[in-house]
Amino acid sequence: MIQTTLFPDTFRQIFSLSNDQIALAFEQVADLLETQGDDYYRIRAYRKGAQSIRAQDRPVVDIFEAEGVVGLEKLPYIGKRLAASIKELAQTGELGLLARLQVETSPERLFTKIPGIGPVLARRIHKMLEIDSLEALEQAAYDGSLAQLSGFAEGRTMLVRDSVGAILDRAAVQQLHRVRSRKMSPSAAQRSQARRPTDQTLEQVIDSPSTKLLLEVDAQYRYLAKAGQLRMITPRRFNPEGKPWLPVMSLQKEGWSFNVLYSNTARAHELGKTNDWVVVYYEKVDGADSRQGQCTIVTESYGSCRGDRVVRGELAAAS
């Protein structure tokens, strides 16, 4: 739908895009920038901008129509660059940066971002193995397909495996964080964004769920997963047949929001632990603070705790 604005800065037709549509465009830009190995802070700016837009009760297109880019820049995490992008979307229905990144991120160009892969090898991977995604490249690095290509000795194959795995691991965590942000109420999301991250934030002592609570969540997840009572998703990694096999659970408990799923990492597959290692993402919004982190819960294999469920790899961050 198109409407007309009388604001002096934008005397032209306006595309009535929803906040979700604009936020999605920003998230796609961030994903493509990340794929290209762009600057961390530039990527974060688009992600934070998307979260801010989703949190608005009022359509940002209406804000632009009434107040121009000056009004947009008053929104949390919306600076001159993002305000200009919203203006472009409102006036044209498209975002030139997104279109350019989509062209630049062809499979062959994408693969050259991986250490050990140059233009020749990238072309060979795409043409001979018909691989067009990082997930498929990772699968090929593990199932031996990549090693069959000329130029891929054991060392280079391992380098590709580790590099792609690290990229996809980060992407998986960020995707879950974005899903959580979309599920938050607008008021909670705005409170979470009310304070911009600072160096001091990183030095704070971050609260996390108690071990007892984490183990309760773990037990509930494994029980429901075994009973077939959880929603199944289709992971893109290590799933060449495209089957929906990975159970996921979201719940609220003792003020914490949890997203839980079995580990789908290369290591979990290698050790046969995809039905044992449970990854728990957690978050609590308290006023202007948002405390979030993750941990993995496993069955201990050694020592006096052998056979017990234990919490490993706990990471926390504030925003």
CATH code, domain with 25: 1.10.150.110
Same domain, 98 and 134: no
pLDDT above 70 as % of the chain = 80
Same domain, 82 and 137: no
Residue 270 lies in a domain: yes
**Bridge pairing between strands 289-299 and 2-4:** unpaired
pLDDT of residue 136 exceeding 70, the answer is yes
Tell which of 103, 136, 156 closes a domain.
103
Same domain, residue pair 14 and 94: yes
Q: Are residues 197 and 312 in the same domain?
A: yes
Q: Is 172 part of any domain?
A: no
Range among 71-85, 145-159, 181-195, 225-239 rated most confident = 71-85
In the predicted structure, residue 315 carries a pLDDT above the cut 60 = no
- Residue at 173 is within a domain: no
pLDDT band of residue 225 (cuts 50, 70, 90) is very high
In a domain, 299, yes or no: yes
Environment class of residue 207 by beta-carbon count within 10 Å: exposed (0-12), middle (13-18) or buried (19+)? Answer: middle
Tens digit of pLDDT for each residue in 242-270?
889 999 999 999 989 898 999 988 788 88
- Structural domain for 146, as ranges: 107-165
- State which of 50, 70, 103 marks the end of a domain: 103
Q: Looking at the structure, tell me whether residues 250 and 191 fall in a common domain.
A: yes
Phi/psi for 80 (5° steps) reads -60, -45
How many structural domains are present in the chain? 3
Q: Is residue 178 part of a domain?
A: no
Q: Does some domain include residue 260?
A: yes
Shared domain check, 205 and 80: no
Helix H or strand E encompassing 40? helix 40-55
Does the pLDDT at position 189 exceed 50? Answer: no
Q: Which helix (H) or strand (E) holds 54?
A: helix 40-55
The answer on pLDDT for 310 being more than 80 is yes
The mean of the pLDDT values for the chain is: 81
| pLDDT tens profile 199-216 | 333 333 346 889 999 999
- 226-251 core/surface letters (b: 16 or more CB in 10 A; e: else): eeeebeeeebbbbeeeeeeebbbbbe
Asked whether residue 82 carries a pLDDT value surpassing 80, the answer given is yes
